[in-house]
Structure 1
Amino acid sequence: MKLLKYLIITACILPFLSRAETLEEGIEILNQGQFKKAREIFKPLAEHGDANAAYWLAYTQFKTAETLYVGSNLLKAAEGGNPWAMATLAGTHMPKVTTSYCNYLGWPCDEKWVDKAIEGWEKLAEEGDGKAMYALLYHDPSWWQYIPFYRDYRYEQLASKLYKNKGYTFFFDDRIWSDLNEDARLKYLEKIDKDGNLYGAYQAAFIYKKRNRIDEALKWIEYGIERGDYYAFVFKSVIFIPLMRDNGVGDKDSLSSKASFFYCMVANSMNSHYDCDLIRYFDEEYNEKIDKLKYFDNYSGERVKKEEIESIRLKARERAKGYKANLYLDETTVEFFRGYSTNL
């Protein structure tokens, strides 16, 4: 009898365990930039009543031009108790949201979702959800958040709690931090990247860049490069090699457009959606006699043969082997959270 009872309980529990694992797998694949593949993981889960999966299904549909279905899945997620979907469907009624996709995509948005979203976040925050804690600070500001100096003090006092509960976007949001509490922010950003979320390293790099501490900024970018992190290659290609040029850091080869193209192609190898258009790195000159294009390094002006460009592509693919992109997307960093705006 005990065996029969055990088998019945196991049969009831296993589908839910499997579903939770599959939802996590879908989010992992989403963060690799494989939105269509993630969408197909979320779809059956959402059809079986998983409100969180319905929210992420709506997001992947939004990213893969299936906007016709986004509104209905957001509504399903909101009615199922997902506060992130509720906030999205509150549209411009949500504090700090000035423009919304509801305005032109016809989603079933309604003011009623504002209070429900906040109630949902309050419940999650009580359970120790750092993302919900940050959402309340962002979308349900308290009176003290409007008082300079005191606001900075209170944010610094809250930092330990947000960090402990993985409310990492709190530390990524420039609007929360000022020169008065920036040192505390740096301390936590360094902890965050040591925890494995390397987006903290890049936030630290940008702060050091602003302070004109170039060596410190480059140290954190190289920290990500060494670990094969997608954003490290993106940022080095488009921001930090130009910064090195401006400050005379590095030798001729490390400052060339060929070097920038290499880092771009490593990122592209991890996430094919990231574009490395040749025109961004090489000037083109058409030779009528041989009916071919000649390429020149945008920075050095040196001639670059087509074979060299192909060699860079091959080396970049080799460098990317064994690594996958991580876009660090969660409910607080996707476009839905702030309305009609880019990711954090």
Structure 2
Amino acid sequence: MRSAWSFLRITRNFTSRARCSRPSSPRTPCHPRVAAHSLLSSPPTALPLRRTTPRIQSTIHQLSHSFYTSRPTSSRPTYRRFNGRQTRHAPLVALFVRWGQHPHFYRHIFLLAGGLGVFYVSNLETVPVTGRRRFNLVGPELEARFAEQMYEEVMGEFRGHILSEWDPRARMVQRVMDRLIPMSGLEGQKWEVKVIAAEEPNAFVIPGGKVFVFTGLLPICGNDDSLAAVLGHEIAHNVARHSAERMSLLFPLLGINFILSAILGLPPFLGNAAINLGFGLPRSRAQESEADYIGLMIMAQACYDPAMVPSLWTRMSQLNKGSPPELLSTHPANETRFKKIHQWLPEAQDKRAMSNCYERSDQIREFMNKFRYPVW
């Protein structure tokens, strides 16, 4: 009871001292609540308190100190001032803005652009057959490592569905590959042909000479010439090293996506979609057209008839009726493909004529006649 009475007297002393210390004004009367607010609006100081014990003085000091030190923090985003404007920026943008105010900013930009230009030019190479210049960072050793990993994954996925090498379908694919490989310039690779029992009409060649053909593709091809067109296209991807080119472009595209997300504030998936639509898909379509051209020349040099290619892609287009438009696809549209193939057919026919295919066919026929039964 006595301590409660002492606390009331202390509060009364506070309000009365604050009321007497403020200058009187007719507009702002000295009200006890106003006086208490003015007292708490300044940091706590050692005020002389009358008739209070040291324990009560320390308690009041702790309460007032916690009032000033435990103010609630705002959950609003922080704003910074740049060029006299109050704007919201990410830390990376703030770093770029500060860098732009540097006195040697343009010199830094010139050195950075020059270094990137030298790095780009030093990693340019020429694609075989077409002569296209492209940027490539990935060497054959690194590409071979990725190819080994991919080969193990495919073999593990289709284990138990790979046909024997004595199967007629596997022998058909091997027969066509034996004629295409010498014309590809990749004879030094360890080629392996695997035919998978699956209804999917597909075929692909992993870098390093690992060929995978699905049995669902063979009825669509129908003969060796059409199968040579498909396998020549897949071999052409290895001749041009398109997989290494795609891996090389992955690093710059990731950097561009990071800059777009950091500076423009775009979500990562939107930046990735914009880069893929503006750069990734057109590059993929260009690689597919390049593989069509190289594959057509390879099959023509191997003495297969290039005139069978348009009919093959006609049958393939009937299976892909629900494909997306060319702008959103990784492959050229069927009309674009037909138009380019018809433009390349005269050159392919000339390649076939220069390969002495007629003399080869006569030699093969004479060789096969030796194994015929004699007619009595």
TM-score by length of 2: 0.21
Per chain length, whose mean CA-contact separation is higher, i.e. which structure has more relative contact order (CA < 8 Å, sep 6+)?
Answer: 1
TM-score by length of 1: 0.22
Please tell me whether Structure 1 or Structure 2 has the larger radius of gyration of its CA atoms: 2
